[in-house]
Amino acid sequence: MSEAHPELGFWRKYVFATDHKVIGIQYGISALVFLFIGFCLMMLMRWQLAYPGEAIPLIGGLLRESWVNQGAMLPNFYNQLGAMHGTIMVFMGIVPLAVGAFGNFVVPLQIGARDMAFPRLNMMSYQAFIIGGLVMLTSFLLPGGAASSGWTSYAPLAVIATTGQTFWLIGMIFLIASSLLGAINFIVTIVHLRAEGLTFFRLPFFVWSQLVTAFLLLLAFPALQAAAVFQLMDRLVGTSFFLPSGLVVGGEPLAAVGGGSPLLWQHLFWFLAHPEVYVLILPGMGIIAEVIANNTRKPLWGYRTMVYSLLFLGFMSFTVWAHHMFLTGMGTTMSTFFQATTMIISIPSVIILSCLLITLWGGSIRFSVPMLFALAFLPMFGIGGLTGLPLGLAVPDVYLHDSYYIIGHFHYIVAPGTIFALFAGIYHWYPKVTGRAMNVTLGKIHFWLSFLFMNGIFMPMLFEGMAGVSRRLFDPTIYAHGAAVHGLTVMTSWSAWCLALAQIPFVINFFWSMRKQERAEENPWQATTLEWATPTPPPHGNFPETPVVYCGPYEYSVPGAARDFSPQFVKQEV
Amino acid sequence: MSTLDLPYQVEPHPLTGVTSGKLGIWLFLASEVMLFGSLFSSYVLLRVGSPPEFWPLGIEAGLSVPIGTFNTLVLIGSSVTMVMSWASLKMGNLGAFRRYFGATIGLGGVFLLVKAFEYSTKFSHGIFPAVGWPELTDPSMFYGLYFTFTGLHALHVLLGILVNLWLLIWGAAMWETAPERFAGRIEIAGLYWHFVDLVWIFLFPVLYLL
Amino acid sequence: MTESEAALVKQEVRVYVMVFTALAGLTVVTVAISYLHLPTVLAISVALVVATVKAGLVASYFMHLISEEKVILWLLLLCAAFLVALMALPVGTETGIAPLWPFSS
């Protein structure tokens, strides 16, 4: 199996790479850059919210004339920031990092494969992603600026928006194509390329989470693709799929055929976007399961239960989407249906979370940096999940819909939830990727500050939302109830800027450790899964000899074993 | 090529019983089902929301049923030649494969030409996706859907033709080195082509007849 | 390619020709029915049934689903379940609210 591989030139090795590890790193770096950009957009928005109408310090004078007035932000620019923050974070930041980067790098290693099943498809998937990302970013340079109709691009607002929206749609079609190609690749890889002896119930939970995620991407994304095509037709050719009759814009009746349904957009969008929520969280859960099992030195409690919950979660996620649409007047029967499915889908999430929590019980926990992030994930995801329940019930949703409460809710899941999980993953697999461990002290500083400020951002939002502040306001102080809780807004903003500063130790750690830290061994965490059987960093083709799997993924502290971990790839004497 | 020789490119996987390529194309087709499913779902929703007098039958709106029928037969015919080309490969007859496969590409081209002719007739009558039917004053969703559906379908046909052309001209070299693998590729190309045909089987009655 | 396999394929070719004839016939049938101007519900039902039969023929014989491995069938079943949700639920929400054309009777 170990034939010689010819040395490849720079372009073939790093730019047009077909090796899953290089593609994973490409995805990882691009996604981190996009996350940073999305974060910057948000910091600008936080200035306007905390100090409405005041000139943006430092960079206010540098921004385009159409965006600022004497350094103070204009409403239209605020809308662009809001729309693009959501789009960049969801579609170009977290999903590519969780699926594209971690999935690509770790999954083939964890299943003992030499590469993804379709290496060239993998390359095309990354290329489509980067094209889509660049199209999105370029739209800021357009005369009318970027898309400004929210990350959901609700019609008819989005249909009559400036050219930036067209770029958004085209960019989205590329991103969808990328995800589809990736999803096909993941499913075939996981089903076909597992090492000998690696049965489905010996797969690490992370691989399971990627498998379910891939199915969600595969079957949910086409709905948004269809919707994007319809909206492009509406915008470019003048059809009226999403434009109702008699629409009046700025006091003028809109010259359109009419007869379309704005609700149709919402259905198609949320048919994708609700499974997308699980695409955001499931890989995170997978990473957390790996880290927790490894650092408690215990098998995952209820591994099979977790897998079945995961499958059920994935299946149900297709039947809950209209809980985003309770306020559209879709009728009580349908509201009741979607409310019921929403309550049902919360059960498997709770099961998975409980299993992870029980795994901690009686473990001799190693408080390594990835473990700290994993431990923080559990309560943060818990808060995010529990605050979602009132939103899933139609009646409280009437009050809470589109308020800061929902912003707080889903950010608790995605920011201190998924992003913490991703950080845990970065700290956990960094030694495998670079061959060197990350610095622990810097890592702990990064964790504690991030943990503090994440809560400083999102906890006040829940209270603001319950006070009735709308998420869409350019200046929340124009209303008395908004002005009354303005202190919370200011606190959120300062927390956000401090969170940015808290990432500096991470950035330093990330680059410094690459060169200066001591070399890591093959299995520095004394883990059991297959990715630790490879040389560090893994060469092209991954495994020097084809691995064989002898046991389940989390054989830690097996009674009678010589060590407290029994790797899958080592045959145990019975 | 820097890609590795991965298993299950030719021989089926013991668990699933299919090759990686075949599993991959079926996954792709499943996502295509959801794509066209979304289109049909939108069609149903928009039509249910419209009063019947605003929704013409295709024939009332000026679509030519004979031309549509002809194109349906062309596409079904291309599916048959496609499956025959695969069967010829299986029987080891490269010459017959080339003839049938070429015929498939040709029939695909005929389909697109007829479609282009239909489009140009509509345009020359002043019918565009955005305008109504039939006096161009009554609002209608019909032509918007017609152009979107058939346009997207035509793009799929075009993609199939391009891939098939590549397989015929350059890809066939693989027949000499790895005949089984090449037959697998033709089967995969065929599955995609039949799916495109299958979509048209629904599009034709929905747009032209109902 | 073994002899027996080649013979098997030859047999299949005969099936393909029969399926083509059936498809062409059904196309003519569905067009002919449309000229009868049946009541709307009946017309839609008949046309969709015929289309489904044709699609079934293409999928079963040209795409070999009739002899395909189980894994493909399970995949399509999963896909079909989501498709049903996608087709049925949006229309369900639509029936409870005002029609899209406010100026109609």
The 10 Å Cβ neighbour count of residue B168 is 18
**What confidence score (pLDDT) does residue A392 get?**
94
* Closest-CA residue to A429 (of A3, A14, A33, A25): A25
Please state, in angstroms and rounded to a whole number, the distance separating the CA atoms of residues A211 and A189: 9
**Residues paired with A565 in a beta bridge:** A556
Name the residue range of residue B130's domain.
Answer: 20-209
The 10 Å Cβ neighbour count of residue B90 is 22
Provide the domain count of chain B: 1
By C-alpha distance, the chain C residue nearest A260 is C100
List, for residues B35-63, the tens digit of each pLDDT value.
999 999 999 888 887 777 778 778 878 88
Helix/strand/coil for B194: helix
- Does residue B25 form part of some domain? yes
> How distant is the Cα of A244 from the closest Cα of chain C, in angstroms?
7
> In the numeric block, which tokens belong to residue A421?
């999980």
Strands (E), A42-133: 68-69, 72-73
Mark yes or no for CB contact C16/B40 under 8 Å: no
- Does residue B2 form part of some domain? no
Mean confidence (pLDDT) of chain C: 84
Contact B72, B204 (CB under 8 A): yes
Contact A186, A103 (CB under 8 A): yes
Q: Please state the rounded mean pLDDT for residues B65-90.
A: 95
Contact B128, B143 (CB under 8 A): yes
Chain C residues touching residue B80 (CB < 8 angstroms): 16-17, 19-20, 62
Task: Note the Cα B131 to chain centre separation in Å.
Answer: 27
Question: Would strands A248-249 and A252-253 be described as parallel, antiparallel, or unpaired?
Answer: antiparallel
Contact A139, A171 (CB under 8 A): yes
Check which CATH number belongs to the domain holding B100 and give it. 1.20.120.80
Chain A residues touching residue C94 (CB < 8 angstroms): 261, 263, 330
Prior bond to A379 cis, omega within 30?
A: no
Q: Please state the rounded mean pLDDT for residues B14-37.
A: 96
A225 and chain B in contact, CB less than 8 A: yes
Q: DSSP states of A261-316 as a string?
A: -HHHHHHHHHHHHHHHHHHHHHHHHHHHHHHHHHHHTSPPTTHHHHHHHHHHHHHH
Query: How many Cα atoms sit within 13 Å of A479 on the Cβ side?
Result: 14
Chain C residues touching residue A334 (CB < 8 angstroms): 89, 92-93, 96
Which residue stretches of chain C have pLDDT < 70?
A: 1-5, 94-105
By C-alpha distance, the chain A residue nearest C90 is A267
**What confidence score (pLDDT) does residue C9 get?**
75
**What confidence score (pLDDT) does residue B133 get?**
45
**What confidence score (pLDDT) does residue A58 get?**
87
Instruction: Note down pLDDT in tens along chain A; length 574 residues.
Output: 344 455 677 887 788 899 999 999 999 999 999 999 999 999 999 999 999 999 999 888 888 888 999 889 999 999 999 999 999 999 999 999 999 999 999 999 999 999 999 999 999 999 999 999 999 999 999 998 999 999 999 989 999 999 999 999 999 999 999 999 999 999 999 999 999 999 999 999 999 999 999 999 999 999 999 999 999 999 998 888 998 888 888 888 887 777 888 989 999 999 999 999 999 999 999 999 999 999 999 999 999 999 999 999 999 999 999 999 999 877 778 888 899 999 999 999 999 999 999 999 999 999 999 999 999 999 999 999 999 999 999 999 999 999 999 999 999 999 999 999 999 999 999 999 999 999 999 999 999 999 999 999 999 999 999 999 999 999 999 999 999 999 999 999 999 999 999 999 999 999 999 988 788 888 999 999 999 999 989 998 899 888 999 999 999 999 988 889 999 999 876 5
Confidence check: pLDDT of B137 > 50? no
Confidence check: pLDDT of B10 > 70? yes
Prior bond to A156 cis, omega within 30?
A: yes
Please state, in angstroms and rounded to a whole number, the distance separating the CA atoms of residues A230 and A240: 9
Q: What are phi and psi of A75, to 5 degrees?
A: -55, -40
**What confidence score (pLDDT) does residue B194 get?**
97
- What subunits touch chain A, counting only 3 or more CB pairs under 8 A? B, C
Nearest to C58 among B65, B90, B198 (CB): B198
ipTM of the complex: 0.94
By C-alpha distance, the chain A residue nearest B32 is A222
Homologous superfamily of A20-244+257-533: Cytochrome c oxidase-like, subunit I domain (1.20.210.10)
- Does residue B6 form part of some domain? no
Helix/strand/coil for A72: strand
Chain B residues touching residue A20 (CB < 8 angstroms): none
Residue ranges covered by each domain of chain A:
20-244+257-533
Contact A153, A159 (CB under 8 A): no
* Closest-CA residue to B24 (of B8, B3, B44, B41): B8
Please state, in angstroms and rounded to a whole number, the distance separating the CA atoms of residues B198 and B182: 24
Confidence check: pLDDT of B162 > 50? yes
- Residue A145: which residues within 8 A CB-CB, separation 6 or more? A64, A66, A67, A76, A77, A80, A139, A162, A164
Task: Note the Cα A232 to chain centre separation in Å.
Answer: 26
Going by pLDDT thresholds of 50, 70 and 90, the confidence category of residue B70 is very high
**What confidence score (pLDDT) does residue B15 get?**
92
CA–CA distances in Å: residue A394 to residues A336, A405, A413: 8, 15, 21
Contact A237, B147 (CB under 8 A): yes
* DSSP code of residue B60: T
- Does residue B202 form part of some domain? yes
- Does residue B164 form part of some domain? yes
- Does residue B30 form part of some domain? yes
**What confidence score (pLDDT) does residue C60 get?**
94
- Does residue B4 form part of some domain? no
